[in-house]
Amino acid sequence: MTNSRVWLITGASRGIGRAVAERALSHGDRVLIIARGDAVHDLASSLGDNCLAAQADVSDANAMRAVAEKALSKWGQIDVLVNNAGLHRGGRVGKLKEENWQAVLDTNLTGALNGIRAVEPHMNEGASIINIGAVVGFRGFAGDAAYAASKAGLSGLTRALAIEFAPRGICVNLVIPGLVLTEMTEALSDTALESMRKIIPLGRYGGADEIAQIIHSVSESRYMTGAFIPVDGGLMSSFGVPV
């Protein structure tokens, strides 16, 4: 158990977050999964003794500090933070409701900062912070101003904190999934999904387990920080987006 790491994963009740939790547990690590819904407790129970649940909203800084304390009181350390919680509310800018704009920023950008502020004082050399970005943060899509702005902001936050935390040996990186079929994409029509699939060079959607594999690999790196890692079937390359 001495080499077992402690993970905190937000948005972990489903999709990519859940897949990351399952992979970390399969490697003998301990995981605290965080989500807003109470189903997170049942999920933690099903994942075994090395999994703990916390019901919290990442946009609440006090709640995230309490989550960090819960992990520390249980396991005495925090080694990996995955900022995966995400909220998507679209709409062309003229019709985008102010409350929707704010809600997306509060979850996707401020929520990540809240998580980082909660755990960073308790991290030691070799710890890893992994933010989950999006292709739309680098390549614009009409009607996606709020989500794009939040994810672009997250990329800037990643590089700034990579420099800030480097003297302490804490790595901060951004993993950028492509189109993955999760609960978040269920709102898209079959026509929209098929149109997006056609512009992916590999010609298919990604799997949550494929994203989790890369996130786990990034968490183990000790000489990669401030990096942007696309896992998108070549989508960003096809747009000529620099990373």
* Global pTM value: 0.94
Which tokens is 64 given? 């995230």
What digits encode the pLDDT tens for the residues 96-109?
999 999 999 999 99
Catalytic residue among 7, 147, 165, 228: 147
Measured between alpha carbons, how far is 137 from 145 in angstroms, rounded to an integer?
Answer: 9
What digits encode the pLDDT tens for the residues 10-65?
999 999 999 999 999 999 999 999 999 999 999 999 999 999 999 999 999 999 99
223 is catalytic: no
Domains, in order of start, for the chain: 6-238 (3.40.50.720)
Q: Give the torsion sign (CA, 127, 130, 227, 28).
A: positive
What digits encode the pLDDT tens for the residues 76-129?
999 999 999 999 998 898 889 999 999 999 999 999 999 999 999 999 999 999
Q: Are strands 171-177 and 6-10 parallel, antiparallel or unpaired?
A: unpaired
